[in-house]
Amino acid sequence: MTTKTVLKQAADIAPSPEDVARVSESIGRMRLLIGRRIIGRTAIANIAPGLDISHLDVLDAMRRIEGEVTVGAIAETMRIDPSRGSRLVADLVTRGILKRDASQADGRRSLVVRTEFGDSLLAEIRAVKRSLLAGVVEGWDPEELNTFSILFEKFITDFESVFLTAEKAQEESLPPSP
């Protein structure tokens, strides 16, 4: 399935142009905020000033990996070069946030796990992030917030699905490596 096919299928269930324009404009504004990593940077400044935003990305990637967490899996999840992933993990190991462990399935494989300090740090950072977000939605009607949270999750999930389907189709259309 090509990117064009995926987009055509999405167009078959056409929402109103006004709604799409409003979502598009909002995404543009949010992209600027996300690009600046406002929430993550605020959490780091409050909890762990020595960390970089990339360190938070590693911790988040670890949470999303199903199965054994390796440097390669972290790099793949973050869509970065394995050597960059390795450097980030090594830095977090040096800081006592992560540690390496042997795989029970294959003793030659090195797994990456959070230390107690890493768990505590991640919990504190999540609390700061959630507190910041709670401040943003503080005056919202509870029913509106519930509806928004469900629809926002659905939007992100559907967006990821379209992107991943298109990305997979593109990979499948490439000639095999020699």
Region 94-122: mean pLDDT is 88
Q: What is the DSSP letter of 109?
A: S
Delineate the domains of the chain, giving CATH numbers in brackets. Answer: 52-116 (1.10.10.10)
Q: Does 36 have pLDDT greater than 80?
A: no
- Alpha-carbon distance of 119 to 128, in angstroms, equals 14
- Alpha-carbon distance of 5 to 56, in angstroms, equals 35
Phi, psi of 102 (to 5 degrees): -85, 140
In 3-state terms, what secondary structure has residue 80? coil
Least confident of 49-53, 78-82, 125-129, 165-169: 165-169
CA distances from 103 to 58, 95, 152 (A): 19, 22, 36
Burial tier of 165 (Cβ tally within 10 Å: 0-12, 13-18, 19+) = middle
Average pLDDT, the chain: 85
- Alpha-carbon distance of 63 to 72, in angstroms, equals 14
Read off the pLDDT of residues 125-143 as tens digits, 9 standing for 90 and up: 888 888 988 999 999 999 9
Specify the amino acid at residue 65. I
Q: What is the DSSP letter of 1?
A: -
Does residue 97 contact residue 56 with C-beta atoms inside 8 Å? Answer: no
Alpha-carbon Rg of the chain, whole angstroms? Answer: 20
Greater model confidence, 82 or 48? 82
pLDDT of 60 reads 87
Q: Does 116 have pLDDT greater than 60?
A: yes
- pTM greater than 0.75: no
Greater model confidence, 35 or 74? 74
pLDDT of 124 reads 86
Nearest C-alpha neighbor of 124 from the set 65, 29, 40, 50: 40
Which pLDDT band, with edges at 50, 70 and 90, does 12 fall under?
low
